[in-house]
Structure 1
Amino acid sequence: MKNLPLFGIALAALMMAVLVQCKKDNEISGQSADQHLLQKKDSVIKAEAPKPVIKYTSMIFPAKKKDSAMSFFNKQFSEEERYTILALNRLDSKNKWRADTLAIPDKFDRTLMMYSPFPAQLDVLKDVKKMVLFSYPIQAYALYENGKIIKWGPTSMGKKAAQTKRGLMFANWKKELAISTIDSDWKLPYNVNVHNTLGIGWHQYDLPGFPASHSCLRLLMDDAKYLYSWVDTWILNKGGATVKANGTPVIVFGDYQWGGKKPWKKLIEDSKANDISVEELNSIINPHLEKILEEQKKRDEVVASTSTEVKPAA
């Protein structure tokens, strides 16, 4: 009988815990149908997992034993893993023979989002529907939608003697297979022009692990296809001689350390060596923000007016 009060207290505590849990369950199950559907439809609503810590090790390809080292590389890693490693080192499979030292991550993600050097969120772009950033210093691009990064990847930009123009540009026209004006033998899949006068565009072409283009922005094939479908191009006035509305804004920024250590090799000592801060990107974007929003508004108005035009009967 002396133990009965203790038992009663314990039972009351247990019942209280059950009631609290039931309340939580009811709160969750009591969400509106819209919320429930939205959660299933858009995983962005869920709290984002913290960015994993990536550690990099080096894999050296000695000049006199490169073939055996490459053979080991091919056997050691799967096709998906090799794709990821090469992309992080700004190489494609065609140019993997150029490797001397590769930075190898301890975790693998073919989307590359796990390794993004760009911020996940840029509040300065919250009102900008689509934005493309190309970083010269780390030879990488990023796509943002309303301030949230949706994709990033490697690039090979203009070589020292033919550097890519910096600053704000807009996507103009696109062509699934363009021919270079410099050399007709150069085929440029999924080309998107961003400077009509200078002939600058992004497209698929060799990624040799350094800036090597004639001012264009080279991409991996998968990335070139994605950007080709994702980007908005210009809208021309009747006759096609003048621009009625610009396409997706693009900013190319920064300087490459010509002759210096390749930035991605620095990841071996410091996994955050290539990271670009929010503050740095704010300073790059802010001077162009008014123009970007102005052009976006103009485009929205043109699209809206076009969609409301009465089409003639067939």
Structure 2
Amino acid sequence: MKKLYYTSNIFLVLVLVLLSSCKKSESTETKEKTKHRKAIEYKKPQSVEFHLEKTKEWLKINEADSSKLQIAYAINRTDKANFAKLDSVVIPSDFSGDIVYYLPFPLHVAALGEVSKVIIFSYPTQAFAAYENGELVYTGPTNMGRKKDPTPTGLFFTNWKAEKTTSTFNDEWDLKWNFNIENKLGVGFHEYALPGYPASHSCLRLQEKDAKYLYKWADEWILKDKENVKVKGTPVIVFGSYNFDGPKPWLQLVKDPKALDISESEIETQAKPFIQKILDNQKVREAEQTAKP
């Protein structure tokens, strides 16, 4: 009887150890899944080729197809009102894919794997992308600062936001879904007219749907008091330069569909100098959120 008793105890201990091990394994796996976002499965078109079309003629045939229109607006870095004003536009031969395949950013950037959120604006291609742990979650067109008032480049962090505010350049300009990234200079991203070229007074103009998305997706700063910042917001990287005296860059797509493609290594190069600063702020935000009751 004693041998049976000891054997039963040993069996029970083994079961408990096994269950404990499984729980630890599941806990670790859950943390890993939370830490690293799964890649989104985007629909790829059969081919990505482009050609020029007369705007009015193309609109007569496609003005009722909202999915085609959204892709066409993005490719030409414009919006509905300004698209109609263009003489000719760049149009893809195949509209069957998701918008990510018509804009230049890579779907995955391994170097950003530890970064929970980051927004990247490309001056040369006039496009932006939002990444979560290195995976592209959103992208769209932008019109950045004109030659006289260029958008500053480098690393910034979102700070305060407002559904509607007034421009510091002209109090008659209403800016919707505004998220400031440089408080002293008054630079931010927001909804405003996209004529199809850099035209702003240093801000980053967006289509309304894109401005709304980033407005809700990005984080505001956390202040200690009116003068001091406790935690910065979402990192924003602005890079490159625009050839103001040349033709619109997206016209190159007609001859070379990959002319504007931004490689993963290029994003890594642009982000590398800022990664540690981004991660340091990220740790502070995580600690602040953990400390909340």
TM-score range (shorter-chain normalised) is 0.7 to 0.9
CA distance in 2, matches of 1:109, 1:224: 25
Letter in 2 for 1:75: K
Q: Are 1:75 and 2:60 matched, yes or no?
A: yes
2:81 equivalent to 1:94? yes
- Which amino acid is the alignment partner of residue 53 of structure 1? S
Query: Could you tell me the TM-score, scaled by structure 1's length?
Result: 0.77
The separation in 2 between residues aligned to 1:171 and 1:93, in whole angstroms, is 28
Q: Deviations over 1:192-233 (max 9, x none)?
A: 000000000000001001000000000000001111010011
**1:190 — aligned with what?**
177
Match of 1:299?
Answer: 285
Superposition misfits of 4+ residues, deviation over 4 angstroms:
43-52
Aligned counterpart in structure 2 of residue 176 of structure 1, from 157, 163, 170? 163
Counterpart position of 2:53: 59
Q: Relative to structure 1, is the Cα distance of residues 52 and 141 closer, same or farther in structure 2, using a 3 angstrom cutoff?
A: farther
| Residue in structure 1 matched with residue 265 of structure 2 by the alignment | 279
Partners of 2:275 and 2:136 lie apart in 1 by: 17
CA distance in 2, matches of 1:46, 1:150: 7
- How far, CA to CA, are the matches of 2:39 and 2:153 in structure 1? 35
Kindly provide the CA deviation profile for residues 13-49 of structure 1, in whole angstroms up to 9, marking residues without a partner as x: xxxxxxxxxxxxxxxxxxxxxx9xxxxxxx9579776
Unpaired runs of 5+ in structure 2?
Answer: 1-28, 30-36
Identity of aligned residues (%): 42
Aligned-pair CA distance for 1:147 = 0.1
- Matched residues in 2 for 1:79 and 1:141: separation? 24
Which residue of structure 1 aligns with residue 237 of structure 2?
251
For residue 275 of structure 2, what is the amino acid of its counterpart? L
Q: Within the alignment, does 1:124 sit opposite 2:111 as a pair?
A: yes
Distance 1:101 1:74, change over 3 A: closer
Q: Which sections of structure 1, spanning at least 5 residues, go unmatched?
A: 1-34, 36-42, 61-68, 309-314
Alignment-derived partner of residue 236 in structure 1 = 223
CA contact (8 A) 1:189 1:203 kept: yes
Alpha-carbon separation, structure 2, partners of 1:289 and 1:166: 16
1:298 & 1:157 partners in 2: Cα distance?
31
Provide, for residues 159-206 of structure 1, a one-character-per-residue CA deviation record: whole Å limited to 9, x for no partner.
000000100000001000011111111110000000000000000001
Q: Deviations over 1:250-308 (max 9, x none)?
A: 00000001111211111111111110111111111001111110111111112222x13
The higher relative CO (CA closer than 8 Å, separation ≥ 6) is in: 2
Superposed CA deviations along residues 81-124 of structure 1, whole A, max 9, x for unmatched, are 22321221011111124413311012226951232311110010
User: Which amino acid in structure 2 is aligned with residue 201 of structure 1?
Assistant: G
Distance 1:295 1:82 in 2: 39
Q: Which residue of 2 is the match for residue 31 of structure 1?
A: none
Paired amino acid for 2:53? M
Check conservation: 1:52, 1:114, Cα contact below 8 A: no
Deviation at 1:74, TM superposition (A): 2.3
What is the identity, as a one-letter code, of the residue corresponding to 2:124?
Answer: P
- CA 1:211–1:49: 2 relative to 1, 3 Å: closer
Deviations 1:133-172 (A, max 9, x none): 0000000000000000011100000000000010000000
SS of equivalent residue, structure 2 residue 148 = helix
For the residues of structure 1 that align with 2:181 and 2:96, how far apart are their CA atoms?
30
Find the aligned partners of 1:171 and 1:273 in 2 and give their Cα distance: 31
Note closer, same or farther for the CA distance 1:45–1:298 as it changes in structure 2 (3 Å cut).
closer
Q: Contact 1:141/1:154 (CA < 8 Å) preserved in 2?
A: yes
SS in structure 2 at match of 1:162: coil
Shift of 1:53: 2.7
Within the candidate set 104, 121, 125, 1:134 is matched to 121
Native 8 Å contact 2:40 2:137 kept in 1: no
**CA separation of 1:304 and 1:215: change in aligned 2, threshold 3 A:** same
Q: Tell me, what secondary structure is at the counterpart of 1:293? A: helix
Contact 2:125/2:260 (<8 A) preserved = yes
Aligned residues: 257
